[in-house]
Amino acid sequence: MKHSIKHPLPPDRAKKMLDRLFDVYCKHYEEYDLETSWSDDQTAQIGMKVKGREISGQVKVCDDSYEVDIQLPRMVRLFKGRIRKELDATVAEWVAAEKRSG
């Protein structure tokens, strides 16, 4: 599943925000073994297990967007629309908080 999420932040702040989001989500969703690591200055690798199924992918921080590419198991693909909406809402909430903290 490929998905682009727009953001208005400078790339360095966009990366820092994403890093904080990863930290919070890794702790909040411990039962899914959520793991993240940066493969370079712009690209984070992500992985998790949901009901025994592996989900992996990457998020690339671009000038005005996060480019998400996640390999979803067949059964999870049915929820692509819901996953996209959740990603959009989460990033919008975090971006708004980041802008307020300025």
Could you read off the pLDDT of 42-91 as tens digits, one per residue? 999 999 998 888 899 999 999 999 999 999 988 888 999 999 999 999 99
pTM (two decimals): 0.90
What is the predicted pLDDT for the residue at 55? 92
What is the predicted pLDDT for the residue at 52? 84
- Which residue has tokens 């989001």? 21
Where along the chain do its domains lie? 2-101
pLDDT at residue 41 greater than cutoff 90: yes
At 15 the three-state DSSP class reads helix
Residue 8 is given by DSSP the state -
Structure tokens at 17: 């925000």
Q: Domain 2-101 classified CATH 1.10.3470?
A: no
Residue type, 87: L
